[in-house]
Amino acid sequence: MEPIPGPPGWPLIGNLLDIELENTPQSFTVLAKEWGQIYKLYLGGTVRIFINSHELVDDVCSRKEFGKHIMGSIAALSKVLPDGLFTVDTAQETWGQGRRILNPAFTPSSIKNMFDEMLDITSQLALKWARHGPECPIDVSDDFTRLTLDTIALTAMDTRFNSFYHDDLHPFVQHFGGIFAEIQRRSNRPAWYTWMQWKANRQFDENSDFIRNFCADILTRRRRLESNESIDRKDVFTAMLHRRDPVTGKQLEDSVIIDNMITFLFAGHDTTAGLLSFLVYHLIKNPDAYAKVQEEIDRVLKGGVMTIDHLNALPYIKACLLEALRLEPPAQVFTVTPLINDAAPVIIGKRYAVYRGQTIVIFIPALHRDPAVFGDDADKFRPERMSEENFKKLPKHAFKPFGNSPRSCIGSDFAMQEAMVAAAVLFQKFDFSLVDPNYELQYQPRLQRRALNFFIKARLRPGVKVLSLHRDFFVPASKGAESE
């Protein structure tokens, strides 16, 4: 057996000094380049083994000896969301109940029914950009956050946040952002040190109370509406309120519903907002790919209204989104641990021993840039590598932006449809450019990968008019002309 390499630690604090607590993913990137496909750190009193190559990830994800392990930021988040699908342990009854009850709400056919509402929210974003004019700097991360938060709220919960009608981001984003920033700080430091941060802990509790009370009010409102009128919706809320688990026969308790409301509002907006930001960046930086995107849109949509039937006719846009997910996976890690009861280790890669109680951290950005899978140009944006034909040829476990089965993201199809809708109609209506032509991608210091200081300009394409823009999202051109 070979020893697992890694930087030497210090007494009590281990490798805490090797990690930038405000930006742990950047630290993992630096360490991956220094130590290669595997290294270990001592953090929070435990050993964490980081793997960065497809060879080792494929070995770990293909074996029954390993199971999902909730740790670090996600473990800290579980104190806020004890029964959310993202944070609850697989062995707990509420995880199985929630997954089985909600799976039908996220089938492809169910998600197709959300298309019109996705288009509605996208039209609000387009109107904002058009009315601000072609020289107005656009904070891409903020506006895509508004888009994706409002989309998940409307499609899943029949609730309008109306984020495009306010200067500040919705209070949910602000309070949850405060929670997650503190969670990141807590995840890599000793518990005794966190206990001493009284001011930060008080603010953390206040933020947690706000988001729970906010979602409890939405739940109360939905129940009141259902008692007073007939609501013919088949959304996620309907499933959580009324569907019974086919195995246990139970319905979800209110506390579990609230945990999953918060989970969907967070996970359902944050990752897709990041994906869309990175897509825009990489297309602006790659003019040939940008031109192919607009050519495909113009050929398929023919300047008219986008419909659900167009989604399958835009393969190049889908390839661009998958390539953006490969280079910039919003969710950057998932973790597993050996499911063994004895002292004998599990051997990975035929040469590294992993023992009971140790955690393996799969660092997705390094996995997605493994030259053994993606070639010597793995760091470059090349959508053709993710065409349908080439995507099918990828080795198993080489592409993991949505996590690992059975804990893979339940909303992956939702996210891809939402991103397809937004990308198609926004590139149909606008030409984009960087405010700073020399801007190079930077990342916000957070667990979920997001662009930092990324500003663009959006100029309406020739023939697209501000005054008719909203109508053109929903009314075919011939009917619009007749009404005029």
- Catalytic residue of the set 87, 148, 155, 271: 271
Say which of 66, 402, 414, 430 is annotated catalytic.
402
- For residue 86, which phi and psi values (nearest 5 degrees)? -75, -25
430 is catalytic: no
State yes or no: is 176 an active-site residue: no
Catalytic site residue 402? yes
Closest to 157 measured CA to CA, from 80, 228, 263: 263
Q: CA distances (Å), 395 to each of 365, 382, 390, 399, in order?
A: 16, 18, 10, 8
Query: Given 122, 180, 409, 454, which residue is catalytic?
Result: 409
Give the residue numbers annotated as catalytic, written as ranges. 271, 402, 409
